[in-house]
Amino acid sequence: MLAASEPLTVLIADDNMTDRMLLSSIVRRQGHRVLTASDGQEAIEVFQARRPQLVLLDAMMPVIDGFEAARQIKELAGDALVPIIFLTSMTEEQALVRCLEAGGDDFLAKPYNQVILAAKIKAMDRLRRLQATVLDQRDQITRHHGYLLNEQRVAKAVFDQVAHSGCLSSPNIRYLQSPYALFNGDLLLAAFTPSGGMHLLLGDFTGHGLPAAVGAMPLAEVFYGMTAKGYGMAEILREMNAKLKRILPVDMFCCATLLYLNFQRQVVEVWNGGMPDGYLRRMASDEHIPLRSRHLPLGVLSRASFQEKTEVFSMVPGDRLFLCSDGVIDTADSDEELFGVDRLQRVFELNRNPDLLFEDIHAALKAFRGESRDDVSMVQVEMVEPDSLEQPATIYSDSGASSPLNWSMSLELRADTLKRFNPLPYLLQLLQEIHGLRAQSGALYSVLSELYSNALEHGVLGLDSSLKRDAEGFAQYYDQRNTRLNQLKDGYVRMHFLVQPEGTGGRLTIDVEDSGHGFDARQVIARDAEETGLSGRGLKLIRQLSRSAQWSEDGRSACVEFTWEALA
């Protein structure tokens, strides 16, 4: 007698008492537990109550016959496999086929052959256990999928908090991003600088899902934190690169394009590491100037090898910058041909209304591929008139109890320091400790930036400000700036700060002196009064934003004052 590997509960349904008794004994001898029923109805009831793992069913039974009982039992079993073996003394082919078509998994002929029965039970049990494994794995997968979706939901909620302080809703920005962009590794950040300029970053992390999203959060923190403090592009890029290099695994990195729009000077600085070409569209000439990738992505190079050199372009109000993720270029049609740069440029050429550029691109992609994609990111930024954008007020987190109101400080920054250190964010942070000055933060930063860059670039480095008159001159100017800064051996910029209470408020006096050759301040101021445009030392701006501004005769030092009233 063949023994079963594992005892099952077997239901035997046969209206013939003899057969039922005989079969029960056979099955019991094979090591299984036996339930019996004498008609189809009883078989269904016993199955429902006791849930046996295997059913031996006589085909011809009264009340409800075997076929109908089989159908109902299978329905009650649901996803689980309960093998049904029909017991039959039918010999015709048709009848046997009917057994299988009725949902039976096998049949056993009478007279019963014990050996065959044992073998069939064993085989059916194997199938039953296989099905049970499949169902179990299916349930596990469903559960894990649920966890995954939940993780992503939480990650996205956290990220939205980190990124919410951005200025993507500014009227000069249009953008298009899938709600799942985060999990495609796409990142779009924008923030105002303290002086009223704008930083914008479009990034693309390697990978998908949570690994791609996880790098976005530290990067966003660096971007927003440093921008708010007044750090420049170079410093922010260096810090983002170093951070990603440190925290991401070796094979992960972030392609990115970073823009700095300076509305006061009507220029844009561009850094592109590994992203597809961006485009600067000059509305007057309808040119599209490509903003190419000149660097490796963030997170690849060590601090020493990282290059933060930017390209500078002049713009006029109405000119636009366009950036997109590689989803656009990489869209493939059914022959696996890529959309490519040429087709994108063609869309630009044909586009009549710049406000509909995204729609034109989408239409072109859809026509090319045959269906639309939801994983492309696009952004368009417009150069606007200075001071035309409303900046949200900075929120300070302290209580206002401590405020340094009577102090002075002197700094001298010499050649080596001028090359590699930007003092402005630290100075601004210090000055922001004076609560009365906070309302003028923007003006203060702009003035400090102008004074410092004048002292450094025109003073110490001796650059000719008239170079910045046109677009080409600009590129030349910044090239020269970098070269001369690298070669700098001597020179200094001195800054002196004096804060004194005055009446119910106070006064801040800033003195800046440089080691350069100086200039004819009177002449420049006179000229500035007439001229508008790109060039100049921004003297007009400094005078506009501060309480008073004066230059020494030789032009090597400037003295600027800010005052404030007591806070209400």
Q: Does 370 bind another protein (CB under 8 A)?
A: no
Least Å distance, CB 39 to another protein, is 12
Indicate which single residue of 31, 106, 108, 114 sits in contact with another protein (rule: CB under 8 A): 114
Please say whether the beta carbons of 450 and 471 come within 8 A.
Answer: no
Count CB atoms within 10 A of the CB of residue 1.
9
Please give the Cα distance from 176 to 279 (Å, whole number): 16
Tokens of 319: 């000119």
Nearer to another protein, 18 or 169 (CB): 18
First to last CA, the chain: 101
The closest of 354, 182, 336 to 284, measured between CA atoms, is 354
**Interface map 16-45 toward another protein (x if CB under 8 A):** xxxx-xx--xx--x----------------
Helix crossing, 424-431 with 216-229: angle to 10°? 70
Cβ contacts of 383 within 8 Å, gap of 6 or more = 172, 261, 263, 266, 268, 315, 316, 317, 318, 319, 320, 321
> Is residue 303 involved in binding another protein (CB under 8 A)?
no
User: Can you tell me which of 31, 108, 112, 547 binds another protein, judged by CB under 8 A?
Assistant: 112
HEC secondary structure over 43-65: HHHHHHHHCCCEEEEECCCCCCC
- Interface with another protein (CB under 8 A), residue from 5, 9, 48, 89: 89
261 vs 257, 266, 287, 323, CA distance in Å?
13, 7, 19, 14
Of 106-114, 342-350, 449-457, 488-496, the window that binds another protein (rule: CB under 8 A) is 106-114
Q: Which stretch binds another protein (CB under 8 A): 4-12, 108-116, 291-299, 327-335?
A: 108-116
CB of 21 to another protein, least distance (A): 5
- Which of residues 16 and 206 has its CB atom nearest to another protein in the complex? 16
115 near another protein, rule: CB under 8 A: no
Q: Which stretch binds another protein (CB under 8 A): 110-118, 161-169, 316-324, 442-450?
A: 110-118
**C-beta of 60: minimal distance to another protein in Å?**
6
Residue nearer to another protein on the CB measure, 22 or 488: 22
| Part of the chain binding another protein (CB under 8 A), chosen from 15-23, 395-403, 438-446, 532-540 | 15-23
Closest to another protein by CB, 95 or 475: 95
Task: Name the residue nearer to another protein (CB basis): 113 or 550.
Answer: 113
Nearest approach in angstroms of CB 110 to another protein is: 5
Of 19 and 308, the one with the shorter C-beta distance to another protein is 19
CA 295 to chain centre: 20
Binding-site size, another protein (CB under 8 A): 18
For 90-143, give the DSSP string. Answer: --SHHHHHHHHHTT-SEEEESSP-HHHHHHHHHHHHHHHHHHHHHHHHHHHHHH
Contacts of 96 (CB under 8 A, 6+ apart): 88, 90, 107
Smallest separation, CB 67 to another protein (Å): 14
Residues present in the chain in total:
568
| Distances 529 to 10, 17, 301, 526, 541 between C-alpha atoms, Å | 103, 117, 47, 5, 11
Per DSSP, helices labelled H in 230-350 are 233-247, 326-329, 340-350
Residue written as tokens 């998908």? 208
CB 79 → another protein: shortest distance, Å? 33
CB of 3 to another protein, least distance (A): 14
Please name the residues in contact with 424: beta carbons below 8 A apart, sequence gap of 6 or more.
230, 231, 232, 445, 448, 449, 452
Please give the DSSP secondary-structure letter assigned to residue 456: I
Binding positions for another protein, 46-65, rule CB under 8 A? 58, 60
Give the nearest distance from C-beta 19 to another protein in angstroms. Answer: 5
Q: Which stretch binds another protein (CB under 8 A): 14-22, 218-226, 318-326, 384-392?
A: 14-22
Contacts with another protein, residue ranges (CB under 8 A): 15-19, 21-22, 25-26, 29, 58, 60, 89-90, 110-112, 114
